[in-house]
Amino acid sequence: MSIPPPISGSSVKDYTPSTPCTWCEGCGNYGIWTALRRALAELCIPPHGVLLCFDIGCHGNMSDKILGYRFHGLHGRVIPLAAGAALANPRVPVIAIGGDGATFCEGIGHLVHAVRSNYDITFILHNNADFALTTGQATALTPKGQVMNTAPLGTVEEPLDSMDFVFSLRPTFVARGFSGDIAQLTEILKAAVAHRGFSYVDVLQACPTYNKFATHESFLERVYDVAGDQAYDPADFGRARRTASDTGGRIATGVLYRRAGVPTFYDELAPRRGIETTAVEEVSVRDIAGMLKKYA
Ligand code: SF4
């Protein structure tokens, strides 16, 4: 990923508008918002040099709480719009942000094809295991039997093992962070943006208003950083998949898997080979009146 030069000494303030945050007290969105602004500042990416794409959800309310080029898309559709933008202008880092409801329900097909296509974007999953914006319904990641607003007797479906699912698609970058560890999440996001290819970042996030089963405190007790294990090798696909999927006891965080040097979707496009310009630079005004005449 090429990163545009900074316009000033970057700091978190460069990415912070005056719009006040409206998330509930204790919401994990605050931690993710802070880590994202820190990561952009530390990468010296100026606000005019990044595209931030938001899905629908409580996280999407971040779209006017952070500076940068921003696009707030439709529910479950953030990945294709981010991928399209990255293909049109591969020089600008593109970060797509979505919730677990949108991503693993409506948008799951988009996730599948983004991972297997290896689009050069970073995807941040706000994983609070519920549809929070619509007041606490179950998503595909909510544990079976959990009482939710639309499941007063408990959910009846088996939850999706999201990490194992992502690994089944042969990703090139998988990480997991926690909204309560801003320092670690900042480093994860910096590594994700720097990775060439599709970077999948699962962020465990507290939603104290609607999720009473995976609290900030319970995450604090269970998460550990794989960087603390000197024998952990993020290039070991099998171990990474097992480690990422094993969430029964402790939960592994950090850069869990990384495979560098894999061609991106753009790299594989034969018509783009050897072309130095981007698609957006090739846009021109053309008179198509003559072409249309034959349909008149
Ligand atoms: Fe955060 Fe949950 Fe409140 Fe939404 S409902 S702002 S996710 S705590």
Residue in this structure with the two tokens 């990255």, named with its chain if needed: 86
Amino acid 1: pLDDT: 55
Under the banding of pLDDT at 50, 70 and 90, the label for residue 11 is confident
Amino acid 8: pLDDT: 54
Atom of ligand 1 nearest to the CA of 22: 6
Pairing of strands 251-258, 199-204: unpaired
- Which of 204, 207, 211 gets mutated to test ligand 1 (max ligand atoms within 8 A of its CB)? 207
Within 6 Å (CB) of ligand 1, which residues are found? 23-24, 27, 29, 58, 128, 132, 207-210
Under the banding of pLDDT at 50, 70 and 90, the label for residue 279 is very high
Mean pLDDT estimate for the chain: 95
Single pTM value for the model: 0.94
CB 35 within 8 A of CB 177: yes
**What are the start-end ranges of the E strands in the chain?**
51-54, 69-72, 94-99, 122-127, 173-178, 199-204, 223-225, 251-258
Delineate the domains of the chain, giving CATH numbers in brackets.
18-293 (3.40.50.970)
**Which sign does the torsion angle of CA 34, 40, 46, 48 carry?**
negative
Count CB atoms within 10 A of the CB of residue 209.
17
Under the banding of pLDDT at 50, 70 and 90, the label for residue 243 is very high
Atom of ligand 1 nearest to the CA of 58: 4
Atom of ligand 1 nearest to the CA of 57: 4
Nearest residue (CA) to ligand 1, atom 3: 24
Average pLDDT for 141-146: 97
Angle in degrees, CA 58, 223, 126, rounded to 5:
15
